[in-house]
């Protein structure tokens, strides 16, 4: 782990940006830099919480998607679409989950080209245990309280909508 600094490096980046570029895009630059650092912090926390279950956060997301699916199985392409990640990433995640005994790869009964990921009973147990751990740790979001988390979600929603993450019903 990196040592703790005696100054805020993003505040210093803001100072340097203002000195060299003026006010142009300074708020955007510090917002992006803060967002990227926050992502690193939260991902490290989540992965530490999930390690006892032989999971990483991407594996947890895929496992939960299967856990909540109606039949406990989904085509890998649909998993990719729902998690908004590249299909190669999903293949890797499913392979790792299969190696842990949490998921099995099965053929689609009607389409030989389609591979399904199917959650196993061990996968369901791991999903429940890991979720209890994440809930107890508030998904690594401390010191943010529920209100701050809701505000963060609201602040990022227009960015996600503008990127085409999803289409609003009736819109």
Please, which residues have CB within 8 angstroms of residue 8's CB and are 6 or more apart in sequence?
none
Return the closest-CA partner of residue 48 out of 140, 122, 124: 140
- Assigned token pair, 123: 């996968």
Helix, strand, or coil (residue 85): coil
Return the closest-CA partner of residue 67 out of 139, 105, 119: 119
CA–CA dist 150, 167 (Å, integer):
21
Contact 97/79 with Cβ under 8 angstroms?
Answer: no
Q: Give pLDDT tens digits for 126-159.
A: 999 999 999 999 999 999 999 999 999 999 999 9
pTM: 0.88
Edge-first strand order for the sheet with 103-107 is 73-75, 115-119, 103-107
86 to each of 23, 76, 89, 99, how far by Cα in Å? 36, 10, 5, 20
Ordered structural domains, the chain, with CATH? 51-162 (1.10.10.10)
Predicted confidence pLDDT, tens digits, the chain (171 residues): 678 999 999 999 999 999 999 898 899 999 999 999 999 999 999 999 999 999 999 999 999 999 999 999 999 999 999 999 999 999 999 999 999 999 999 987 777 788 999 999 999 999 999 999 999 999 999 999 999 999 999 999 999 999 988 887 765
Count of other CB atoms within 10 angstroms of residue 160? 12
């Amino acid at each position: 782990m990196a040592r703790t600094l005696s100054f805020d490096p993003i505040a210093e980046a803001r100072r340097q940006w203002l000195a060299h570029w003026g006010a142009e895009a300074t708020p955007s630059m510090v917002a992006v830099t803060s967002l990227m650092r926050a992502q690193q912090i939260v991902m490290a926390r989540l992965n530490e919480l999930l390690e006892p279950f032989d999971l990483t956060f991407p594996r947890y997301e895929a496992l939960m998607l299967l856990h909540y699916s109606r039949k406990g199985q989904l085509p890998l392409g649909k998993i990719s679409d729902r998690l908004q990640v590249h299909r190669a990433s999903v293949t890797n995640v499913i392979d790792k989950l299969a190696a842990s005994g949490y998921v099995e790869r099965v053929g689609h009964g009607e389409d030989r080209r389609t591979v399904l990921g199917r959650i196993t009973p061990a996968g369901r147990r791991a999903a429940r245990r890991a979720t209890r751990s994440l809930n107890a740790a508030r998904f690594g979001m401390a010191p943010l309280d529920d209100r701050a988390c809701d505000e963060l979600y609201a602040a990022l929603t227009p960015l996600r909508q503008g990127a085409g993450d999803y289409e609003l019903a009736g819109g």
